[in-house]
Amino acid sequence: MSDFGVDRSHPLVRWLAEQAVAADLFRATVDGAATREDATASLSMRALLAYARRDHRAPPSFAIEQAIRTDPATARRYRNLLAGMAIAFSPVALAAATDPVPSRVVGQWRLRVSQPEGLSPVLVLESLAPAPAPTAIEAIGPAGGPIRLPLPEPVRGSIQLPLDDRFAELAAFHRLIADPQTSIALLR
């Protein structure tokens, strides 16, 4: 289409364009019966946000976690919210590192798993710089999750969490963070 020599980025043109898009969106919002159905079919952002903000010791909701595992759109939303909520977030997990003892820096903390002979593996978080300590860690990825674990208080700048294989949740967490595609969030 010829623009007859009128600049497309002219402020006047730009303003008209923004108004036109706003008007279209407004009309779609006011008589948006069709789009609303679509929105109620999956979990609302508010419900997901409330779930991401829940108390660390509150029991997980099976229905919500099922939705996060099965619906890619819900998973994407939950991850985005978690990334926003977290004091530190890493979209890739421990296994992405190449060290024999996998380790990863998430925000001001270095995460690694140490495996003492004959004992359960231990998740260790070391503080790299003075920072408020996280009180929970959450992992979510295509392999499973979300799994949220409360963390103990740091002792001399380091937090230790034994990943005891006898507890299904801890074992699942250990498996999850071994997958390079798992995201890890540190929460307060």
Partner 1 sequence: LEGQVPWRIAARRSLGQEISAQEIAAQEWQANSMDQPVDEHTASDLCAIAEARQLTPAQCNMLARNVTGALRPNRDIYLWVLANVLSAVLLCGCRRRQKTFDPADCALEIALAPTPERRAALMRLCAGHEDVRVSREGIAVDLDSLQFEASFARIDDALAFADFFITGSDGALFASFKEAVLALTPVDGTAASPHEAVGILSRRIAQWRRERLPLGRQERLFSALVGFLLKRPAAQQRYGLLAFDDDDIVAFWRTCVEAGERLMFRTAVERFRDFGRLVKHLDALRSLTRPDDLDALAARMETEPDTDWNATTDDVAEVRLLEALKSLPDDPNALKGVERDLIATIAALMPFHKQRPGSVLRVLAFGPVQTGIANRLRRGGGGPAIDERVGCADAHSYDTVADRFYRLRDHLDSLRRIAVALRFGDKALVQGVDPDTLAETVQQGNAALKRLRRAGFDRSRAELAAIFSGIDGALSDFCTIICDFTAEIDRLGERRTLSDRFARDKPVFIETFTRAYLARQETRADV
Interaction site with partner 1 (CB under 8 A): 1-32, 35-36, 38-39, 44-46, 48-49, 53, 73, 76-81, 83-85, 188
Cβ proximity to partner 1: between 29 and 66 the closer is 29
Cβ proximity to partner 1: between 5 and 130 the closer is 5
Nearest distance from C-beta of residue 26 to partner 1, angstroms: 4
Cβ proximity to partner 1: between 2 and 70 the closer is 2
Nearest distance from C-beta of residue 77 to partner 1, angstroms: 5
Nearest distance from C-beta of residue 120 to partner 1, angstroms: 33
Bridge pairing between strands 122-127 and 136-141: unpaired
Following DSSP, what letter does each residue of 29-54 receive, concatenated? HHT-HHHHHHHHHSPPHHHHHHHHTS
Nearest distance from C-beta of residue 84 to partner 1, angstroms: 4
Cβ proximity to partner 1: between 86 and 147 the closer is 86
Strand order through the sheet with 122-127: 103-106, 109-114, 122-127, 158-162
Q: Which residues fall within 8 angstroms of residue 76, CB to CB, at 6 or more apart?
A: none
Following DSSP, what letter does each residue of 80-93 receive, concatenated? HHHHHHSSEEESS-
